[in-house]
Amino acid sequence: MVPKLARYALIVLAIVVMSVYLPFLYHKVSEKKVGKTQLFFSPVIKKFVFREMVGEGHKFVTQDESGNDYDRMTFETLIPFVYYKNMDLWGKLPMTIDGRTFDKQTIKENRQVFELKPRMIADRSPRIQVFPLLESEPGVTRLRFPEDAFRMTDRMEFINVDTNTVDEDLTGKFTDAMKKAGVVFPARLTAGRVSILKPFDEGFFVVDVNGCTYHVKRVKGEPVVVKTPIPSDLGIRNIKVMENKKKEIYGMLLTNKGDIHLITCDDYRLIKLPLMDYNPDIMDLKLLINPLYRTAVYSDDHTIHAVAMDSQYRPISRYQRVMFSGRTTMADTVFKALFPFWIKTTDKTSSYLQFDLVWNGWLALIGIALSLLIAVVIMHLRKFRFKRDWPDFVVIMFTGIYGLIAVTIIDPEQ
């Protein structure tokens, strides 16, 4: 038989492993796939409307904020800027709203969507800090990846991707341009959209060690560096660049305080979004722009929030609700009663490996009491001696079902 000390070492190991995988398996078996609520501001009725799945069988509820129900076609006609292709198909375009007439082309040209999820934030997702600086005026119909990539060290260093060697000429040219513009190395943040599947390229935004923000592009092979008027004491945490044919907004800027600003193409002017109760570390954010309104929708796993704004980003209406997917179910209650704690190793809001101990509260006392009762019965049947095996009860008292399974399958020394 296993010596006593070694036995309890195995028990501890078993408890740790089970606290990772038993909750995972429970969630896999009990979890119902329910999508997040789709929430929009209707320019037709001037109310928030939403559509969400409730239960299995693709059962949906489609309502407005006042609780009025709509069929799917009516719902889509309430948000015609979202479903403008269906409006055109149904012969409802051009349409007049608030005295203005909109056809398909006008709607298409004035729609834009910005998105920021926790995993997109620079400090919540690991990334090798090497980036391709595309040619912004390639002279051809499509953007192309260059033969080099850059990284920010004590200079803007370009590396030839074919030979894996530093291109000293290009490095010197861009580093000199950066220093002449006022950049102080090293950089705190380098942000851009690394893709050739975009209408054009706006290069990268670089925040230097002093907090100043610079816009860096490659134009006909030459460096173009602009020092922006963005305040150096703003506390920039992340910049999400999104090139769009409207050329109205460069992207979203997130501060350390959790404020969201839009960087406009008009002299890098900042527009602060009037968000309330927004937490960038756990909430998905989407900004929907249409010809009449701007709507910011943000949510965690429980509650969805929204604020509708006019074209000047002034709030005109707010709404929030607990989503169906965020409601506590019987399976959730059983989980908390069954497992006193669990170890969380993954998190959809971060790309980093987690190892967080999560306590399930007072409901876990039910599971612990039941585990102790079962342990008494098992030990009585096995004729264990309490004076010798009382530590097993202590283990179960603190670990519940994990401890019960561990002390049962790992027999004590006889």
Reduce the DSSP state of residue 218 to 3 states and report it: strand
229 shares its domain with 343? no
Do the beta carbons of residue 289 and residue 296 sit within 8 Å?
Answer: no
* pLDDT number for residue 56: 61
Q: Is residue 265 part of a domain?
A: yes
How many domains does the chain divide into? 3
Residue 156 host element (H or E) = strand 156-160
Rounded Cα distance, 393 and 395, in Å? 5
18 shares its domain with 100? no
**Confidence at 348, pLDDT banded by 50, 70, 90:** confident
Q: Is residue 212 part of a domain?
A: yes
263 shares its domain with 179? yes
142 shares its domain with 172? yes
* pLDDT digit string, tens, across residues 229-286: 999 999 999 999 999 888 999 999 999 999 999 999 999 999 999 999 999 999 999 9
Q: What percent of the chain has pLDDT over 90?
A: 68
**Confidence at 33, pLDDT banded by 50, 70, 90:** low
* Rounded average pLDDT over 211-219: 97
Reading the block at residue 84, the tokens are: 């403008």
Rounded Cα distance, 306 and 41, in Å? 8
Among 290, 306, 291, 296, smallest CA distance to 262 is for 296
Rounded Cα distance, 252 and 289, in Å? 13
Q: Does residue 293 have a pLDDT over 60?
A: yes
Do the beta carbons of residue 400 and residue 368 sit within 8 Å?
Answer: yes
Q: Does residue 321 have a pLDDT over 90?
A: yes
253 shares its domain with 172? yes
* Rounded average pLDDT over 359-385: 84
Domain membership of residue 382 as a residue range: 4-32+331-409
Q: Does residue 310 have a pLDDT over 90?
A: yes
225 shares its domain with 247? yes
Q: Is residue 352 part of a domain?
A: yes
* pLDDT number for residue 55: 65
* Bridge partners, 361 (sequence order): none
41 shares its domain with 87? yes
Q: Is residue 239 part of a domain?
A: yes
Q: Is residue 279 part of a domain?
A: no
Q: Is residue 402 part of a domain?
A: yes
124 shares its domain with 240? yes
358 shares its domain with 247? no
Q: Does residue 383 have a pLDDT over 80?
A: no
13: left (phi over 0), alpha (psi -120 to 50) or beta: alpha
317 shares its domain with 199? no
| Average predicted confidence (pLDDT) for the chain | 90
- CB-hemisphere CA count at 13 Å for 170? 16
* pLDDT number for residue 346: 81
Q: Does residue 384 have a pLDDT over 90?
A: no
Do the beta carbons of residue 12 and residue 392 sit within 8 Å?
Answer: no
Rounded Cα distance, 28 and 10, in Å? 27
Do the beta carbons of residue 212 and residue 227 sit within 8 Å?
Answer: yes
Taking the CB of residue 386, how many other CB atoms lie within 10 A of it? 11
187 shares its domain with 211? yes
**CATH number assigned to the domain comprising residue 269:** 2.40.128
Q: Is residue 125 part of a domain?
A: yes
145 shares its domain with 249? yes
* pLDDT number for residue 30: 75
Q: Does residue 114 have a pLDDT over 90?
A: yes
- Which single residue is written with the structure tokens 């010197």? 172
pTM over 0.95: no
Rounded Cα distance, 319 and 48, in Å? 7
Q: Is residue 283 part of a domain?
A: no
* pLDDT number for residue 91: 93
